[in-house]
Amino acid sequence: MIVCEACGVTEVHRAARIEDAVHEVLEGWLRKRGWSAAVVPYTGYGAPGWVRVMGRVMVSRPDHSRPRKPGKVRGWRSFTTVSAQGAPVAVEVAGRRHETVADRGGFVDTVVKVDLEPGWRTVLLSSGDGEPVEAPVRVVDPAARFGVVSDIDDTVMVTALPRPLLAAWNTFVLDEHARAAVPGMAVLYERLTTAHPGAPVFYLSTGAWNVAPALTRFLSRHLYPPGPLLLTDWGPQRDRFFRSGRAHKLAALNRMAEELPWIRWLLIGDDGQHDPEIYRTFAGTHPDHVAAVAIRALSPTQAVLAGGLPSPAGQEPSTSDQAGKRWFSAPDGAGLWKLLAESGVLDQP
């Protein structure tokens, strides 16, 4: 964002202005051909007294509900969409209607004051004359004291990011059914949620919101516990050409610490990108909100494919203390579970 201190005028980044102009032309052209606004719901979360509702308004063809052939969902389809800028959105929760407006990217991210019982609940989202769609919401129980925050890329799903060619292939070309799960991680998460009934699970990633539906299907298909996705907008931002992945993750963690202060989080990631330093920073500033950190140690080959360097410690399971918190490192979910179970961290209230 460009700020003129003398006149006090804030100017949107040039790349964002260009993107907005292109979207405006495309949206107008599609609407003239009978396309209309449709809401893509995302999983939200909340606590007694409020819920955070998320979704995106897209311009869809009249036959947008026509199902595609199973197993033929290529990643590039998620990025050939046009958002509905500034579209009016109605949010219906517990019989009450709330009005909001989508932002420049068509995103809806609003907090609604409502008192819902803990557990999985449903809200309705609609735009214009479109049919309402259901969005799941996880209302966190105030009695819960433990939760899981998990990275996605190379933590639960093998993606080999951010090496450009492999990232492009995995994101835009690969059939979503061909994506591989990281060994043992789904079992680890199932054991964690079994050991702590009611524990919320959040999936925090620098991936684009465009792939949220595909990621949700992947997590369900590989038996990961359901939970909200906290992703990013890959397009130009109001204040910069491209979003900052580290800033996104830290902002999300800080917000969760503020919104759900009674939860102590097990932070799970991998050592292929920036998860360790992000978690170290958060643990240093919010020590009371971190139960432990579990890092999946990539092999030397995996580390290189992910754009990093092999860890000097290799793949051997290890336990250490950083920022006053227990850190666990192992190459897979089975190794991490063994270290966590033996440490007694999971037995703490």
Q: Which CATH superfamily is domain 146-347 in?
A: HAD superfamily/HAD-like (3.40.50.1000)
Instruction: Return phi, psi of residue 87, to 5°.
Output: -70, 140
Asked which of 3-17, 100-114, 119-133 is least confident by mean pLDDT, the reply is: 3-17
Distance CA 331, CA 186 (A): 14
Nearest residue to 339 via CA among 285, 281, 282, 296: 296
Q: How confident is residue 105, by pLDDT bands cut at 50, 70 and 90? A: confident
Cis peptide before 162 (omega within 30 of 0): yes
Determine the pLDDT at residue 54.
Answer: 97
Determine the pLDDT at residue 234.
Answer: 62
Fold of 7-139: Immunoglobulin-like (2.60.40)
**Domain limits, the chain:** 7-139, 146-347
The token duo for 62 is: 């009249």
Determine the pLDDT at residue 256.
Answer: 97
CA distances from 105 to 17, 77, 244, 268 (A): 12, 17, 17, 29
- Is the per-residue pLDDT at 64 higher than 70? no
Q: What is the pLDDT of residues 260-272, one digit of tens each?
A: 999 999 999 998 8
The token duo for 226 is: 């359901």
Q: How confident is residue 274, by pLDDT bands cut at 50, 70 and 90? A: confident
Average pLDDT value for residue range 116-128: 95
Question: Dmax of the chain from CA atoms?
Answer: 63
For the sheet containing 36-47, what is the strand order? 96-101, 88-93, 119-126, 133-139, 36-47, 50-60, 107-112
Which one-letter DSSP state was computed for residue 209? G
Q: What is the pLDDT of residues 211-256, one digit of tens each?
A: 888 889 999 999 999 999 999 886 655 555 445 788 999 999 999 9
Distance CA 39, CA 110 (A): 14
Residue 262 and residue 142 in contact, taking contact as beta carbons nearer than 8 Å: yes
Nearest residue to 179 via CA among 206, 149, 215, 130: 215
Share of the chain above pLDDT 70, in %: 70
End-to-end CA distance of the chain: 44
- Is the per-residue pLDDT at 315 higher than 80? no
Determine the pLDDT at residue 20.
Answer: 62
Determine the pLDDT at residue 77.
Answer: 46
Q: What is the pLDDT of residues 166-194, one digit of tens each?
A: 455 455 555 666 678 999 999 999 999 99
Determine the pLDDT at residue 117.
Answer: 96
